[in-house]
């Protein structure tokens, strides 16, 4: 049986490799670590870029949101309290215009055009904060029936808005007073007309029932002697 022999030099070189001699296994391990470090570096770089992109996107969104929000007359963004004031003015403007529109629609020919009081908002625009619609609620002279119809329309127009104002209640109360007076006047006129018709009918009836008188001829004593 042959036995191979290992020299001291070869054994020493295997156990303790020299600085200038390289082992395939050591080189492969070194390359593997280098590749792993490169990949980790790339991942870190990718994460850094991703985070940077997210931060940039977040800033862009914030800037876009700020730019899209309400602005003052000079183009600068509004403060939160100014935005709240602007929303309140817009709501008041809608309510005032709806209120006056209700008066106009129901009032018809007795309602005039609306006039408004305005207030400037933080955006420089004007918003209605109060309004008025003139309405003719005077009685119709010498025509109680026309007055009754007119006052009914006026009352409906005054109370047409969802939230009538004190002035609206005042107009409605005055119109009700005119309405009551017109109804009393109309009732008196009807009573007078009925009495007049009744009197006329009684006169006609009494004339029809009275007998017709026949004229008589009288003969004097002188005439008889002459005869």
User: What would the mean pLDDT of 131-155 be, rounded to a whole number?
Assistant: 97
Radius of gyration of the chain (CA): 55
- Please tell me the distance from the alpha carbon of residue 49 to that of residue 37, in angstroms, as a whole number: 18
User: What would the mean pLDDT of 147-155 be, rounded to a whole number?
Assistant: 98
Task: Give the pLDDT of residue 134.
Answer: 97
- Please tell me the distance from the alpha carbon of residue 207 to that of residue 26, in angstroms, as a whole number: 153
Task: Give the pLDDT of residue 199.
Answer: 83
- Please tell me the distance from the alpha carbon of residue 91 to that of residue 183, in angstroms, as a whole number: 42
User: What would the mean pLDDT of 202-221 be, rounded to a whole number?
Assistant: 58
The pLDDT of residue 106 is above 80: yes
Task: Give the pLDDT of residue 169.
Answer: 98
Task: Categorize the per-residue pLDDT at 201 as very low, low, confident or very high, splitting at 50, 70 and 90.
Answer: confident
Task: Categorize the per-residue pLDDT at 142 as very low, low, confident or very high, splitting at 50, 70 and 90.
Answer: very high
Task: Categorize the per-residue pLDDT at 184 as very low, low, confident or very high, splitting at 50, 70 and 90.
Answer: very high
Query: In this structure, are residues 106 and 160 in contact, taking their beta carbons and an 8 Å threshold?
Result: yes
Q: Which residue has the tokens 């309140």?
A: 88
Least confident of 29-33, 39-43, 65-69, 133-137: 29-33
- Please tell me the distance from the alpha carbon of residue 82 to that of residue 69, in angstroms, as a whole number: 11
The SS3 of residue 129 is strand
The pLDDT of residue 221 is above 90: no
- Please tell me the distance from the alpha carbon of residue 32 to that of residue 38, in angstroms, as a whole number: 10
**Average pLDDT for the chain:** 77
Task: Give the pLDDT of residue 53.
Answer: 54
User: For the whole model, what pTM was predicted?
Assistant: 0.60
Query: Token pair for residue 21?
Result: 């001699």
Closest CA to 116 of 137, 136, 93, 139: 93
Task: Categorize the per-residue pLDDT at 11 as very low, low, confident or very high, splitting at 50, 70 and 90.
Answer: very low
Query: Token pair for residue 224?
Result: 């008889």
- Please tell me the distance from the alpha carbon of residue 13 to that of residue 18, in angstroms, as a whole number: 7
Query: In this structure, are residues 76 and 122 in contact, taking their beta carbons and an 8 Å threshold?
Result: no
Q: Please state the length of the chain.
A: 227
């Amino acid at each position: 049986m042959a036995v191979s022999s290992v020299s001291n030099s070869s054994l020493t070189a295997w156990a303790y490799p020299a600085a200038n001699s390289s082992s395939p296994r050591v080189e492969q391990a070194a390359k593997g670590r280098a590749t792993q470090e490169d990949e980790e570096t790339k991942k870190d770089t990718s994460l850094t870029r991703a985070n940077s992109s997210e931060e940039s996107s977040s800033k862009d969104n914030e800037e876009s949101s700020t730019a899209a929000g309400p602005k003052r007359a000079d183009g600068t963004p509004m403060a939160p309290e100014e935005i709240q004031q602007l929303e309140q003015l817009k709501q008041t403007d809608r309510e005032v215009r709806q209120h006056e529109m209700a008066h106009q629609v129901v009032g018809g020919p007795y309602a005039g055009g609306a006039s408004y009081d305005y207030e400037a908002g933080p955006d420089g625009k004007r918003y209605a904060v109060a309004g008025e619609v003139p309405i003719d609620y005077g009685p119709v002279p010498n025509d109680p029936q026309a007055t009754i119809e007119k006052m009914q329309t006026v009352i409906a127009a005054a109370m047409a808005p969802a939230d009538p104002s004190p002035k609206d209640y005042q107009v409605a109360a005055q119109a009700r007073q005119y309405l009551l007076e017109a109804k009393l006047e109309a009732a008196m006129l009807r009573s007078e007309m009925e009495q007049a018709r009744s009197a006329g009918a009684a006169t006609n009836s009494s004339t029809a029932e009275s007998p017709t008188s026949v004229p008589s001829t009288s003969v004097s004593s002188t005439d008889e002697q002459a005869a």
